[in-house]
Structure 1
Amino acid sequence: MANLASKLAALGLGTALIGGGVFIAKHEGEVLGTYSDPVGMTTSCYGRADPSHQLGQVFSPDECVAQLAEDIKKHDRQLTQVVRVQLSEQEYQAYLSFHYNVGPGNFRSSTLLRKLNAGDRVDACIELTHACSKTRGTCEGWTYAGGRQLPGLVTRRREERDLCLQGALSHEAN
């Protein structure tokens, strides 16, 4: 991942975006082409969902890193437009990963964002793994795709929560 960090830095990303990108890449994995994700969307490289992509396309490692950098910048803009509180670097990276994975609409309408903007930093972090679903009757966080719970999302949400809590608790200690 150090190589990825240096490539993202070479594309002009700052420290927080690089950290977020490395965290995202760890959970998305790198596929040098297109694939069908768990909900059937054509996806490429580090989880880019792009309707213009066709299954069977191939991308170079540099093209995949460029896609990731472009996507991270877009998600950063969308995230910072709706978050009304100053975030620690850890909170920022956790929320950037979450935003990247669930999309801007889900993030904007989340209880997590409402709690975060109300200043309930710790509760917002906990929402990453304990968000409740009325339709499923569960409080397991955003760990389902295509109607089934995915072990990779369980791990990702736990790691996002833990990273987020590091930042939230250090912020409250100051």
Structure 2
Amino acid sequence: MPHTRRTPRRPLRHIITLSQLDRANTQVSTEMARHGIWSDELAGVGVFLVPASLTCYGWHDGSIAIPSISGAHLRDLCNGQHTRLTDVLRHEWAHAVADTFSGFVESDLFVRCFDGAYQDTSPVANYDPSRHVTRYAAARPCEDFAEVFHYYLRHRSRLPLRLSSRKPVVKKWEFIHRMARRIAAGKFSF
């Protein structure tokens, strides 16, 4: 009888495990530290795996909740897409940074760069690839900030060439870069 090799079963990529979350969170917090953004205040932010959520992920009440299974995971599954857990965490950590160091997002510079106040709840404009790094960035100024922050960490603070001709995106990128440098220097506003 021929020997059949069984390949180990891989967990579904749309179900997040605690070990996956721990690995991804360590990677993102290391990226933040590399850019001088990590602080004692941020070290106190809890990152939790929750069983399920019909909505998505979230920054709430001083912690980041990542559902093991969510509506967003199921939507990705149906569309044949996959969102990296590290990208989700980069985005959620951006909200934690904004809450922790609110002087930056409460500044006039933020309003000029992101076309509105961080707390605005209505979309600033329709998605425009010359102004936004993702479609979701057009949702509200706070999401625009979080998406640019996510790209900033993902690309190790180097603006991708494909974005370098988009002046509004460059302005937002420079905001994140200046903010990171000020946090690293122990200055928490502009």
For normalisation by structure 1, the TM-score amounts to 0.31
Q: Larger % of helix: which?
A: 1
For normalisation by structure 2, the TM-score amounts to 0.29
Larger Rg: 2
